[in-house]
Amino acid sequence: MARPPYSDLPDSSYWRRAVGGVAPEAIDPVVVAPFQIGARTKVAAAGSCFAQHIGRYLKAAGCAYLVTETAHPVMTEAAARALNYGVYTARTGNIYTARQLRQLIERAYGRVQPADDIWDEGGLFLDPFRPTIQPGGFNSRREFEIDRIRHFSAVRQAFETLDVLVFTLGLTEAWRSRVDGIVYPLCPGVSGGKFSPGAHEFVNFGVADVVDDLAAVLQALKAVNPPAKVILTVSPVPLAATAEPQHVLTSTVYSKSVLRVAAEMAAKAHENVAYFPSYEIVASGMAGNYFAADRRSVTEAGVAHVMRIFAEHYLKGGAGGGAFAEIVRKAAGAVGPQARAAGLEAAFAVMCDEEALDAAAVLAGPRPPGAT
């Protein structure tokens, strides 16, 4: 008589053995990592604000965190931070949606030329696709254009030389141009640009959209870098604001659900893609309350849990020793003040310009421009 299919499953398949009967801090939802990251593996990071932690931890762990758009040595560290050099592999700013990443590749390779390509703010110029990338914007069209040529070159170099791309999916909601469908990271009018209902429209991507965008990204990556591998993860950080006519919590669950499904589908459809459960570790609540008092920011302990599990499975040698273990230990709050003194506060001072949505609402009145 055949044994029932559940009789030989590993502990990870059973709630009681993998979650219910396990200490919260020991919850580890990764079963098998399909590939690993060695000391020389060039890892690139992109995505929503949660993705910044990945880069910082990988750097701290001594991994070959790939940065192709580097700060010039004349700059001090503080200046480089202010201009968002090294936050991600290229100076992309946060990439909240899969569509944004797709567009970035297409723009970097000259396949797409948005109609709305530069915002003139009365003598200062902003990049609509990274409007908060540097304080004060660009001082002239000439400066803007020189910097963007360098930026696109860095993006191409990243895609062509990375070994592993870690992409953190953040949002499904976005604003796009009615002219050519180009998607903005932030609604025009929030951190630059001018919102116009005739020029901009709200879009909330569904599963098919995100799957299609991810497939396009993977295809583009494969075309220039066939051996590249990708780790997809979903940011546990809730939406700062929703433009849907519904509660922000409802929109958050919808958005994260779409992203989670799309990531799963992409991972199942592509051999070189893995899914890493950042979202599950933090947002499920099973591993502890990893949200700060605002119920949006992820605590240091939450990030540390995520990165410990990441290291355990994806880093050769695991999280058991060296600089990575030390930074995780400190970040987990074992030595709070000392950790801050060691400069760790920077690891948690993430660039999250989505918060500008909330700030804009506070400053401008009851609703952001064009919100429905």
79 scored as a contact of other proteins (CB under 8 A): yes
Determine phi and psi for 24, rounding to 5 degrees. -50, -45
Quote the least distance from Cβ 345 to other proteins, whole Å.
Answer: 17
139 scored as a contact of other proteins (CB under 8 A): yes
Residue 8: partners with Cβ closer than 8 Å, 6 or more residues away: none
- Per the structure block, which two tokens stand in for 151? 């930026």
Quote the least distance from Cβ 131 to other proteins, whole Å.
Answer: 14
- Rg over alpha carbons for the chain, rounded to the nearest Å, is 21
Quote the least distance from Cβ 354 to other proteins, whole Å.
Answer: 22
106 scored as a contact of other proteins (CB under 8 A): no
Give the C-alpha separation, 35 to 223, whole Å: 21
Residue 319: what residue type? A
Binding piece for other proteins, criterion CB under 8 A, among 27-35, 61-69, 73-81, 178-186:
73-81
Our CA angle for 36, 38, 39, nearest 5°, is 160
Site for other proteins in 144-183 (CB under 8 A): 146-147, 150
Binding piece for other proteins, criterion CB under 8 A, among 140-148, 221-229, 237-245, 276-284:
140-148
Give the C-alpha separation, 46 to 159, whole Å: 11
83 scored as a contact of other proteins (CB under 8 A): yes
DSSP run (H or E) holding 203: strand 200-204
359 scored as a contact of other proteins (CB under 8 A): no
| Residue with Cβ nearer other proteins (120 or 201) | 120
The residue from 12, 13, 113, 140 that contacts other proteins (CB under 8 A) is: 140
Quote the least distance from Cβ 146 to other proteins, whole Å.
Answer: 5
Unique residue bearing structure tokens 């299609």: 212
Quote the least distance from Cβ 132 to other proteins, whole Å.
Answer: 12
| Residue with Cβ nearer other proteins (11 or 143) | 143
Quote the least distance from Cβ 9 to other proteins, whole Å.
Answer: 55
Residue 366's Cβ-count burial label (10 Å; 0-12, 13-18, 19+) is: exposed
Binding piece for other proteins, criterion CB under 8 A, among 105-113, 131-139, 167-175, 261-269:
131-139
Site string for other proteins, 210-249 (x = CB under 8 A): ----------------------------------------
Q: What is the dihedral of CA 185, 191, 192, 196, to 10 degrees?
A: 70
Closest by CA to 309, choosing from 292, 293, 332, is 332
The residue from 1, 2, 32, 78 that contacts other proteins (CB under 8 A) is: 78
Residue 125: what residue type? F
| Residue with Cβ nearer other proteins (69 or 173) | 69
Site string for other proteins, 305-344 (x = CB under 8 A): ----------------------------------------
Residues 158, 90: contact at Cβ < 8 Å? yes
Residues 202, 175: contact at Cβ < 8 Å? yes
Closest by CA to 172, choosing from 90, 235, 264, is 235
Give the C-alpha separation, 268 to 247, whole Å: 32
The residue from 4, 73, 122, 227 that contacts other proteins (CB under 8 A) is: 73
Closest by CA to 43, choosing from 224, 302, 231, is 231
The residue from 17, 142, 316, 367 that contacts other proteins (CB under 8 A) is: 142
Residue 332: what residue type? A
Q: Give the residues lining the site for other proteins (CB under 8 A).
A: 71-76, 78-79, 82-83, 123, 134-140, 142-143, 146-147, 150
